[in-house]
């Protein structure tokens, strides 16, 4: 990745995009379009189709037909694998183009975008493509007069609604295992991050994906997303996003065909630093990365740091020094460490949290708007150094580069503070005490608990939440559980 290559791609005009339905590029049924605004400079970048109910229905119909006639589900796993692996190769070959396109649309710094988006999506496709022909059925250990067989079969049509922060990575966590399992899919991207998923869908066609197997419809969640949730022909709905939207999707599923709904709804993840942390400098550095990378727009971001009181002042000083060194700027500059906030609305929300903490008399380090002259949406990392448990910024998900630091005195208090949230997605513990580390892993209510690190878990382990962070799991072989039904054959011999 050279800066000159990036600069060349930066200046290229971006094509307009339409839906991909039944293997074809299709405009919105009423001709309406959405303008894509770049967070780099606040200017229009391109446009894509503003989907209608009719568009969503057309995609669902195509996916239903493709599933029912067996053009994909009826293939041998090895045949599906061949297409998915070719698709992964095409994504990898265009990785830089895809990364730059994504950065121009959602503001992630290019170094992270390249690795976390196209390269991650390609790796995820390969992981599930290679796994699908290695999942055996079962023979039940029952009465020898009978034969009990357990088959694994694709569930049918899957609808996926994915967020704007890492659309390719999170999208691939859903479409790769679903398609590998033999399902067909309709995917709805976020309004502010649709372009890379539309381009990747075109590459699926190039790879030999049969028409109707993978469809992408863009548009408002209140229209396209709602239609997917209420459809009688969608068998499973998977979603990453806000809790309010997740509730509406569950209600729609209950009103329609009781489709299974799997939700990942974000978090307010505690990052706990004990006085016996093996390396306080490393803890401060990794903690800064764990909240400030991608301008804090990460589902598992360690946004609540809990620090043992005896080291609180020292840790805040080290964390502030790390934050000050983070280079916030043009996300297409390879030296940038934190890019743009996704939208003006998100930036305003971030700044409101900081202003509220400052008005309450809290010690606030950083948190100003930056580079306003560019027209883009940039923000300095913000540290609320003495946040209290009843502060809104301590309790609510900001989804921006804002972290609270709160002191505790005992292990029991640390556990209580960590669990004092409606969320339960991720957490971390920094300690040299092995027994304490295991106790904390057991006591903290979260789907992922790091020990002496933060972030970076790979595809081999599941990611999912508890409490209001959702249900079901992305990543690992456990992801197949959402997309494969168990069918028993009971045979008298």
Residue 264's DSSP bridge partners are 240, 470
Query: Angle, to 10 degrees, between the axis of helix 120-131 and the axis of helix 167-180?
Result: 10
DSSP state, residue 456: -
The count of other CB atoms within 10 Å of the CB of residue 376 is: 23
Listed residue (46, 72, 105) closest to 215, CA to CA: 72
* CA 132 to each of CA 5, 34, 217, 453: distance values in angstroms, whole numbers, following the listed order: 37, 37, 27, 31
Name the phi and psi angles at 184, rounded to 5.
Answer: -110, 165
CB 40, CB 11: distance < 8 Å: no
State how far Cα 84 lies from the chain centre.
Answer: 21
CB 413, CB 437: distance < 8 Å: no
Listed residue (403, 378, 457) closest to 291, CA to CA: 403
- Number of residues assigned to the chain: 493
Identified catalytic residue from 105, 191, 230, 264: 264
At 111, list the tokens.
């170094």
At 420, list the tokens.
């004092």
CB 52, CB 30: distance < 8 Å: yes
146 burial (CB, 10 Å; 0-12 / 13-18 / 19+) is exposed
First to last CA, the chain: 63
Nearest 5 degrees, angle CA 230-CA 236-CA 240? 85
Asked if 264 is an active-site residue, the reply is yes
Beta strands 146-154 and 484-492, pairing class: antiparallel
- Which residues have a catalytic role annotated? 264
């Amino acid at each position: 990745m050279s800066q000159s290559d990036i600069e060349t791609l930066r200046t290229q005009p971006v094509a307009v995009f339409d839906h991909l339905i039944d293997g074809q590029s299709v405009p919105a049924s009423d001709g309406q379009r959405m303008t894509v605004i770049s967070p780099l400079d606040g200017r229009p970048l391109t446009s894509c189709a503003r989907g209608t109910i009719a568009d969503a229905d057309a995609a669902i119909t195509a996916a239903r037909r493709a599933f029912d006639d067996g053009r994909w589900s009826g293939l041998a796993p090895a045949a599906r694998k061949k297409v998915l692996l070719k698709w992964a190769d095409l994504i990898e070959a265009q990785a830089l183009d895809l990364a730059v396109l994504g950065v121009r649309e959602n503001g992630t710094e290019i170094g992270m975008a390249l690795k976390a988006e196209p390269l991650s999506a390609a790796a995820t496709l390969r992981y599930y493509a290679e796994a699908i022909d290695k999942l055996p059925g079962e023979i039940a250990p029952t009465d020898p007069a009978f034969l009990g067989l357990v088959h694994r079969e694709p569930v049918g049509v899957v609808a996926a609604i994915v967020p704007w922060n890492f659309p390719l990575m999170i999208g691939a966590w859903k479409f790769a295992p679903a398609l590998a399992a033999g399902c067909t899919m309709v995917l709805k991207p976020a309004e502010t991050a649709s372009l890379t998923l539309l381009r990747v869908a075109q590459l699926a066609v190039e790879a030999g994906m049969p028409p109707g197997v993978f469809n992408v419809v863009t548009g408002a969640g209140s229209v396209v997303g709602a239609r997917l949730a209420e459809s009688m022909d969608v068998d499973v709905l998977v979603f990453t996003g806000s809790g309010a939207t997740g509730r509406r999707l569950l209600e729609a599923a209950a009103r329609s065909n009781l489709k299974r709904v799997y939700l990942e709804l974000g978090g307010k993840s505690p990052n706990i630093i004990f006085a016996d942390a093996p390396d306080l400098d490393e803890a401060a550095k990794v903690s800064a990365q764990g909240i400030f990378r991608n301008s804090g727009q990460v589902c598992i971001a360690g946004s609540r740091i809990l620090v043992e009181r005896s080291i609180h002042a020292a840790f805040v000083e080290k964390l502030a020094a790390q934050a000050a060194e983070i280079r916030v700027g043009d996300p297409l500059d390879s030296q940038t460490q934190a890019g743009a906030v996704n939208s003006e609305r998100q930036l305003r929300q971030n700044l409101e949290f900081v202003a509220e903490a400052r008005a309450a008399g809290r010690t606030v380090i950083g948190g100003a708007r930056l580079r306003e002259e560019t027209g883009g949406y940039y923000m300095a990392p913000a540290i609320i150094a003495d946040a209290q448990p009843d502060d809104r910024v301590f309790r609510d998900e900001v989804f921006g580069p804002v972290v609270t630091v709160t002191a505790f005195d005992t292990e029991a208090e640390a556990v209580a503070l960590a669990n004092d949230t409606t969320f339960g997605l991720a957490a971390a513990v920094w300690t040299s005490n092995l027994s304490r580390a295991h106790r904390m892993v057991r006591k903290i209510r979260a789907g992922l608990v790091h020990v002496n690190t933060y972030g970076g878990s790979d595809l081999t382990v599941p990611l999912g939440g508890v409490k209001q962070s959702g249900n079901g799991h992305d990543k690992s072989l456990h992801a197949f559980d959402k997309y494969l039904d168990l069918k028993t054959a009971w045979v008298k011999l």
